[in-house]
Structure 1
Amino acid sequence: MNIDVSTWDLIIIHLIIQKLDQESRKEWEHKISDYSDKIPTFSEFSTFLESRFRALEFLEPSTKKETRLKETERPKVFSITSSASSVSCPFCAEAHLLYQCKRFSQDSVQQRRDFVKSKALCFNCFGAKHSATHCKRDTTCRRCGRRHHSLLHLDSEQPPSAQPSRAVEGVKIHNQQPSTHEKSEQKEPGPGNIVAHAAESSGSSNSEIILTTALVKVENKGNCHILRAFLDQGAQLSFVTERAVQLLQLHKIPVNVSVDPSGLGGEKIPLSVPIKHKVQFKIQSICSSFSCVVQAYVVSQVTNPIPSQKVEIHDWQELKKLKMADPGYDTPGHVDMLLGAEVYGLTLTEGIVRNPTSTLTAQNTALGWILSGRTQVTRGTRK
């Protein structure tokens, strides 16, 4: 190629040109086209870089302006990603955002409100130079749905919809605004305003409410496991524990939802908890050939042990003749999944038997007979 190997100008130029922006590359290609067959030297390339640098330095202010204009045209994804050195909490001056401040969260709600007012911050996003009315962030309080941050929620503020009853508490599923990182993972959107019910303790020392539980077979990757399910006809979704998902080695599907878990898992949690995955699996009856596919959201715990205490049923001889879906219905036990109304409806078959002396009712299903109602507690075994 008639290249003088005593100098490596061409190789050095090639390496540096890969680091330049596309426009600068075009400028360089245009310049060397004037040399015809002459190979450019590094000295000529250095002269080009210096002149290009000065041109860009002169044009930099207008370029920044154009960049800002383009950014305003992009879809707004409200995700705060800032290095610790550039963030300063207005409450304690440490390197974190206000809603992450432990000292701020330890104050009373009224004290937090007063502080936000004194700093003229947005009640919705804690940002400066705008109010909640003009806030462009599409978020609301996770406890009442109004336009303020959940840390500023007062108990006197009620959500627009009706509150769940005292006997049964709701679990709400909300759509989450995906961050830029989450969008890259192509997570599926979650359902909105979905309620799944979980029962609270009866609160009585000598009686217990029996809930409908069943044992089901779940097979995955050649392994079959018997898991315990709570059939809840008041739930619009199904849930499964992380423990069961790991046991079955199920494939997790990323989702973007969160739960207001006042009742799910038997806990009182003030703020909603994100659900990151859902799974799909097939359940089979231990009493018949029935099977169906279930889509369930993955949570750490679906409910407290059912029942909460040991029960006894002595005055119902007919119950002993039924093939129960959960032979251990009378003993407190771990629950692996909550099957919602959709699955519950698929399992129902003809047949109801009622206890003549109490509210206990046995319902025939494709999973076996399920039991519900109030009964007596075995003394000395309360858990």
Structure 2
Amino acid sequence: MQHLKGKIKGEAERLIHHLTISSDNYDTAWEILTHRYNNPQILFTKHIEILLNQANISKQTSFDIKKLHDVSMECIHAIHNLGIDTTTWDPLLVHILSKKLDHLTYAAYMEARKDPRSLPALDEFMGFLESKFTALEPISRKERVVTTEKVSQHHISKPSSSNSFRFMSTGRPSINIYSHNNTGHNKIDKPYQKPFFQAVTTKTYKCPQCNQDHDLFKCNQFIDLSPKSKLATVTKLNICPNCLYKHDTNCFSTKRCKECNSEHNTMLHDAFPIKRSPQMNNKNFAKSADKRYSANYVANNDEMLLTTIQMQVLSSDGSYVTLRALLDQGSQITMITESAVQLLGLPREHLNASVAGIGESPNQSRGKVLLDCKSLRNDYEFVAEALIMPRKIVRNLPTTSFDISNFHHLKNLPLADPDYNT
């Protein structure tokens, strides 16, 4: 029972969360999990959709052919393990998979067949794919080496007597490549003279705390400091508290604190206490005396939870992705973020539309998309047409995670959003 609980997470973990660790509860836990997940029809549909929805190969490469081979074998073996006899599927499977090959590979397969007039065998087809990507792998490695050499000799820059760096938005140095002629002058007077290329420096990033060759967030001295001492060190060394690198411009890092989603590093979270007051110095709250009430966090009488749900949405490859949504009873339209649409890989339809809320400037949509949605807990399904929005549709819900250990009346209930407190 201890081993079983340590191996599961998410929905499966919540299903048997109420069972204590004892030998008597093991059979009950196993029965609950088997009843929920041992569904041969769903498992077969999942594997067959992955098999059929593999992308077509447009160019003959070892990577694409190997992926087609491995994914196909994995799905076929998984279907066979469900107790389904796949021995008579060879002609159908070979026909489906061969249509995904590029013209060159397909022609090579037809030439390699021992008896082109007989029905194809799956083992013969898979053996051909394996021999093909094995033969192409050395060619692919050679092409990568040649491409790397060409890129390294592409630009000529001005030399310097000292180490020179180009700093990116992260503050990390990159290598500059310079040319020198025999006189040491950086100008190439004659076009036919062959330049000599060399990397001026390969200097790595130095930790500002201990001056060793590692990043600040990997420094043991910095990690062992208290939260307030870490913040003081960052301030003293003029380090960005968000990315923990030194830079003169605004921080371009999109990463945020994993605890509160604020613009500071997670290692500094405890040094930035959240003060729950109307005048919080936070982007999620109004400044000065202009008090606004948030409706997404159970913290005081001014705030309440909104209806969030989790549901499965069908992606372009036939698999389902779990997304979180706000169930807004007052909205006239359905909206989805650009990042969610890209995660699903769904085709979009062009549409010019502007969306505005109370007191907000209109946002231009990026088209519309059709969503096939279904419940996490039963067979309920629905289709929705959603406008694609470039930015976040709502702020973080709830504003801050909170403890639900004392919500005994909600335990073991099949909630639409089990992570409503996060």
Report the TM-score, using the length of structure 1 for normalisation: 0.31
The answer to which structure, 1 or 2, has the higher relative contact order (CA under 8 A, 6+ apart) is 1
Bigger proportion of residues as helix: 2
From the CA coordinates, give the structure whose radius of gyration is larger.
Answer: 1
Bigger proportion of residues as strand: 1
